Chains A and B, each alone.
Chain A
């Protein structure tokens, strides 16, 4: 009895096993079949964008518009792929046009760079700038740290760019410059930065005729002086102002500073030292100017698209923003074009 029971149990187990195996085979078969359908959408999908097939159903045409068969999933699926194929085809055609556009723009910039090369002479910069009706007093520049293995990349390339921009600004008579770098690398490299600026300035103006400059970091209250003739005391007593004031900011000076200001104000208010009605745009403006620098007249980006990278939002209210499409290096032509554009613009707040 017991044996037969055990046998039965065994056979039951075996049949269970068999069932499992069959299930496995079915599963395998499915998995053989599935990828083929899945892959086809995946190739299409992930090639251009990662949108899951599940979203097809949500992509129904609006009510009333040719949606007689919208309820059938297969129809939706085919519909989706049909239109998606058209989109992919359009993207492919466009990418060729875009490629041509890209090379034309790059070639144009390279040509202009040669034609307008300031060849490290402030006289040439002066000549270019003198034609302009007005020049900005405060300029801000967004520099980006490129990866090490690229030409002009890494921290060294960044410092070099900062030096060049400073020389161009002094050459064109701009007294205030803000350098924004997302990570704040410049702030940690002040001595090297000063060295790099001095090197660039002596290339442009000669070692005997070095312009003076001050480097400021708003939230750290750090002020450093260039190696020019003027000493810190001269600067402080305003007898001999520096030729240019350089402010270094990073993304920390943006939204985070505003949040910190809100924190401070909330703290003061809870101690009854600040009234809610005293919080005005003017108060916040003066606080933020102290904490993260002033609003520039002109903001220059040396990137291919307008990407503000977390630049302090409060400070770009009326700033003229300039960038050159498909350009990706710090280039005198872009700087000059930005100044040209600025000289023709008219600011009329609200009117």
Chain B
């Protein structure tokens, strides 16, 4: 293994690897690609435990692997990426860890606004989803600032769900509908499924196509429940921890997704009868 690592540091080998990666990405872009990918970033702490690192180090490595994944999504022209950064339930964790996570996101965001070139170069527009009433004042201000700073970018939308749960999102949507009806902005008779989806946090994003969860857990954990039950949305589970996810694994998953959208896949599909 170490030999392979050493080999990949040779200039000629790394050049060839870069070339292969480039060709792969260019060819994938001529095919079908998801418009909106969501990630459940699970397993930072278990990764740290497995490698005998402090928990904070695990979170740190997780944010690094997020950066490389965003780079790939940008190169693949994917329109929107949603990440489950913090669940409302995560407030039940130890105080020090919650504080660490708050600090981490603030630090990362201030890094962005200081040397914004990366965000601006890729044209990443950052938006925040979730129930902001749970946020401390300073974190909330940083979020507002970041949204304001990146609002003119438009290549990729990065939707950071912090702190989010789908049930809370649906509840807020219903509340919004109720208050709209009270203020006579909406007729009761006009309320439909679309009315609820148009009031969810994901309203400004393209429909969810693909969700990935790491760490082999087979649950949705209250994430984008409304969006994932759509007929075209797919979920892929990976048996690795989030910090281990790299561009190669993601490329492979997207390649398989793209394959499933072609007519070559018809053979592997289930024959289903739908009554209109």
Interface contact B191-A313, CB-CB below 8 Å: no
**Min CB–CB distance A117 → chain B (angstroms):** 23
Partner of B273, one of A59, A147, A305: A147
- Asked if A316 CB lies within 8 Å of chain B CBs, one says yes
In contact, B177 and A266 (Cβ under 8 angstroms): yes
**Within the assembled complex, what's the spacing in Å between the Cα atoms of A341 and B218?**
9
Q: Which residues of A contact B (CB under 8 A)?
A: 47-49, 51, 59, 61-62, 65-66, 80, 83-84, 86-87, 90-92, 94-95, 98-99, 102, 144-148, 150, 153-154, 182-183, 185, 254-256, 258-259, 261-263, 265-267, 269-270, 274, 276, 279-281, 284-285, 303-314, 316-322, 326, 328, 341, 345, 347, 349-351
Q: B40 on the interface (CB 8 Å rule)?
A: no
A-B contact pairs, 10 of them (CB 8 A): A84-B27, A95-B264, A146-B270, A255-B193, A266-B188, A276-B175, A304-B270, A313-B166, A313-B228, A328-B270
A284: B residues at CB distance < 8 A? 167, 170-171, 174
Task: Please name 11 further chain A to chain B contacts, defined as beta carbons within 8 Å, in addition to the given A83-B26, A279-B174, A345-B219, sorted by A numbering.
Answer: A80-B30, A98-B259, A99-B267, A102-B267, A144-B270, A265-B178, A284-B167, A308-B233, A314-B170, A318-B219, A321-B220
Instruction: Categorize the interface residue count of chain B.
Output: 35 or more
User: Taking the complex as formed, is B132 at the interface, i.e. its CB lies under 8 A from any CB of chain A?
Assistant: no
Interface contact B229-A313, CB-CB below 8 Å? yes
> A144–B230 Cα gap in the complex (Å)?
16
- Write out the residue numbers on chain B whose beta carbons fall within 8 Å of the beta carbon of A145: 272-275
A304 and B271 alpha carbons, distance in the complex (Å): 10
Please measure, in the bound complex, the distance between the C-alpha atom of A154 and the C-alpha atom of B193, giving whole angstroms: 30
Chain A residue nearest in CB terms to B122: A62
Q: Are A262 and B27 closer than 8 Å at their CB atoms?
A: no
| A317 CA to B89 CA, complexed, in Å | 12
Across the interface, name the chain A residue whose C-beta is closest to B186. Answer: A266
Contact partners of A263 in chain B: CB under 8 A: 188, 191
Q: Which partner residue on chain A sits nearest B275 by CB separation?
A: A183
Residue of A254, A265, A304 touching B269 (CB-CB under 8 A) = A304
Cβ of B7 within 8 Å of any chain A Cβ, yes or no, is: no
Q: Is the CB of A91 within 8 A of B219?
A: no
Asked if B192 is at the interface of the complex by the 8 Å CB criterion, the answer is yes
Across-interface contacts of A61 in B (CB, < 8 A): 26
Q: How far is the CA of A117 from the CA of B193 in the complex (A)?
A: 43
Min CB distance B90 to A, Å, is 5
Q: CB-CB < 8 A to B175: which residues of A?
A: 276, 279
Contact status A98-B231, CB under 8 Å:
no
Residue B68 interfacial (CB < 8 Å) = no
B261 at the interface (CB under 8 A from A): yes
Bound-complex Cα distance A200 to B218 (A): 31
Q: Is the CB of B229 within 8 A of A91?
A: no
> Which residues from A are CB-within-8-Å of B273?
144-148, 153-154
